[in-house]
Amino acid sequence: MTEPFDPQAAADAALERVLASQWHGMPAVVLRSPPGAGKTGVAQRVALQSATMLDQRCMVVTQTNEQAFDLTRRLAGNAQSLPIHLFARRGLTLPADVASLPNLVVVHDVPSLPQQPSITIGNAAKWSWIQTAESCFDVQIVDEAFQLPDYRFQLISNLAPRHVLIGDPGQIDPFVNCEIERWRCDPAGPQVSCPAALVKRHPSVLQLDLPVSRRLNADTVSLVQPAFYPDMPFRAMSQDRSVHFSVAGIMPFDAALDSVAAGSSIVMVELPAQITGEADGELAQELVDSIARLLRRRAWMSDDGQVLEVTPDKIGVVCAHVSQVNALRERLRPEMAGVFVETANRFQGIERSFMFVHHPLSGRADATAFHLDAGRLCVMLSRHRIGCWVFGRQGIDQQLIRFSPAGDRALGIDDDPEYRGWRAHLTFMAALARAGRVFPAVNGLVPLPSY
């Protein structure tokens, strides 16, 4: 008889494997994580173990200053009396709560780096300015490693002899602002994410997966995992996540709201078919009106035992283009000031209880590689903890069929990113249609279901 799956036990076992790899002195570890699996928490534990139990000098690499600040807050709170060093440029303004941390030590140059067992945090750009032939640290942890292209990793990999690369392989590929034709046939080229390039060069490197998402509920995992992580199965942590409304539904959009309240964590709202290009004012207004309706119905959310009122700061809106972000921001009412609106690139690593998504293919007459990108849609659909509403124009499924990728691949490269994105979009749309989660709009309004 098969034992029932215990998500907490599976998560603990995965963490033990990662920590044990450091005791065994593994030269490199690639840890793949689904959305919301607590990969930053794993990075913290590896860093604390290295500094406090293995007496090592540990450097932590982030991709942005904001990520470095967040990790500094977490480590400073968990490290107790251990000093946490922040490697930052001179003149960088620190958030007030970071600057006031009692065990924070700000470091600006190489001579000031700690020589004793310690933890030092900095972004990849700052670390890349160090020019030395000697290792400055014993172990290097790269957080959000799949966002770091290999050419930037090579600038800092010599700073420590051992590496732990932690990240989500389903997120947006690294952005490289130069021509890459000469490396297109190299599966370990400088434009490839550093974990993928490392595995291609050294297939025997230890690879581990986190098997549980703490953010996504089981319903969301059933949609996201087959579409975006077909080779990396994972489950949801057992959580109490729900929303209910104090005001009954009588308006058009209430059908989509009530569907999420009934347990469908992701639903789609379709406006009439129309080619609009990037900026779609009607869709933007419909989306803002829908947020207003969510707030007017006095929604209450249950999140892991906490019952809270749904306020604007618990809502996020994600788009593919800056023009769409601006169209939404200018329509937000004063009482919605707390709603966070950004592009998918900026939303990586961020979560909200409820998400509204501007579908990247909505209103377009084509389906380019940018808009088919699997990582972009994956980020959009994995930021929520409770509910997600996807807004788009009708006909996206037919659009995908019309613009199916040619299947051209570079010699020596097995992966076809355009096909992978096309497959992910089609798998997701088909799953919504089969489950009856698509709410067609009539003249921009969502009709009430017939009972």
d(CA 222, CA 94): 40
For residue range 64-93, what is the model confidence (pLDDT) as tens digits?
Answer: 999 999 999 999 988 878 999 999 999 899
Phi then psi dihedrals of residue 132, to 5 deg: -155, 150
pLDDT at 262 over 50: yes
Q: List Cα–Cα distances, 429 to 158, 226, 270, 398, in angstroms.
A: 44, 12, 12, 11
Mean residue pLDDT of the chain comes to 90
Domains of the chain: 7-210 (3.40.50.300), 218-440 (3.40.50.300)
Confidence at residue 393, expressed as pLDDT on a 0 to 100 scale: 95
182 confidence band (pLDDT: 50, 70, 90): low
Residue 351 is classified by DSSP as: -
The arithmetic mean of pLDDT across residues 288-309, rounded, is: 92
Dihedral over Cα of 105, 110, 115, 118: its sign? positive
- Model pLDDT, residue 248: 85
- Residue 28 scores a pLDDT above 60: yes
Does the structure show a pLDDT above 80 at 200?
A: yes
Q: Which two tokens stand for residue 167?
A: 């990240």
Q: What percent of the chain has pLDDT over 90?
A: 76
Tens of pLDDT, residues 365-399: 888 888 999 999 999 999 999 999 999 999 999 99
Percent of the chain at pLDDT exceeding 70: 92
Give residues with Cβ within 8 angstroms of 4, minimum separation 6. none
Q: What is the pTM of this model?
A: 0.90
Q: What is the DSSP letter of 198?
A: H
